[in-house]
Amino acid sequence: MATDFQHPTDQSAASLVGGIIDDMQDLVKQQVQLTRKEINAEIHKASEAAQLYAVSGAVLFFGFFFVGFAAVHLIHWASAPAGMDPSKVPLWACYAIVGVPLAVIGGVLAWIGWQKVKSINPLHNPAADALKENVRWVTNSK
């Protein structure tokens, strides 16, 4: 079984340079696409952080709303004469039982949103840095 190796015909310098230019154009196109995808990923992260902030804001609002009512009822309960409220759990404690967990959940969601915001770095894009380096290389090589 013999293998037949064919030698490429002699190519002119113009065709070689043309091939290099075509390869550079392909590389630049691919890097632009990669840069776009990385920018879209950063935008997606920002969108997720904004959604978390919105949800945490709503949960925090209701949590503090109930905690506020709990505080009002606590003051009322503390200033009322003894034996006035026949229930085992005072009304202020009921509000606190609802409000405190909501406030904690809202705080946790806000913290998670803050962590997402901190992870966004729109000024550092590796694909854009590579594209700048290639453009610098191409412009200096001429």
- Name the domain count of the chain: 1
Task: Kindly report, residue by residue over 67-98, the tens digit of the pLDDT.
Answer: 888 888 887 777 777 767 666 777 788 888 88
pTM above 0.85, yes or no: no
Supply the DSSP string of 70-139, one letter for each residue. HHHHHHHHHHSPTT---SSS-HHHHHHHHHHHHHHHHHHHHHHHHHHHHH--TT--HHHHHHHHHHHHHH
Q: Answer yes or no: are the C-beta atoms of 42 and 120 closer than 8 Å.
A: yes
Classify residue 16: in a domain, yes or no: no
Classify residue 15: in a domain, yes or no: no
pLDDT at 120: 75
Structure token digits, residue 95 = 């509000």
Task: Kindly report, residue by residue over 106-126, the tens digit of the pLDDT.
Answer: 889 889 888 888 887 766 767
Classify residue 4: in a domain, yes or no: no
Residue 141: partners with Cβ closer than 8 Å, 6 or more residues away: none
Classify residue 72: in a domain, yes or no: yes
Confidence of residue 134 (pLDDT cuts 50, 70, 90): confident
Classify residue 69: in a domain, yes or no: yes
Classify residue 13: in a domain, yes or no: no
Classify residue 140: in a domain, yes or no: no
Please, what's the largest Cα pairwise distance for the chain? 109
Structural domain boundaries, residue 40: 28-129
pLDDT at 46: 85
Structure token digits, residue 109 = 């969601």
Residue 5 has pLDDT above 80, yes or no: no
Supply the DSSP string of 19-47, one letter for each residue. HHHHHHHHHHHHHHHHHHHHHHHHHHHHH
Structure token digits, residue 110 = 């806000």
Is the CA virtual torsion 135, 136, 137, 142 positive or negative?
Answer: positive
Task: Kindly report, residue by residue over 26-66, the tens digit of the pLDDT.
Answer: 888 888 888 888 888 888 888 888 888 888 888 888 888 88
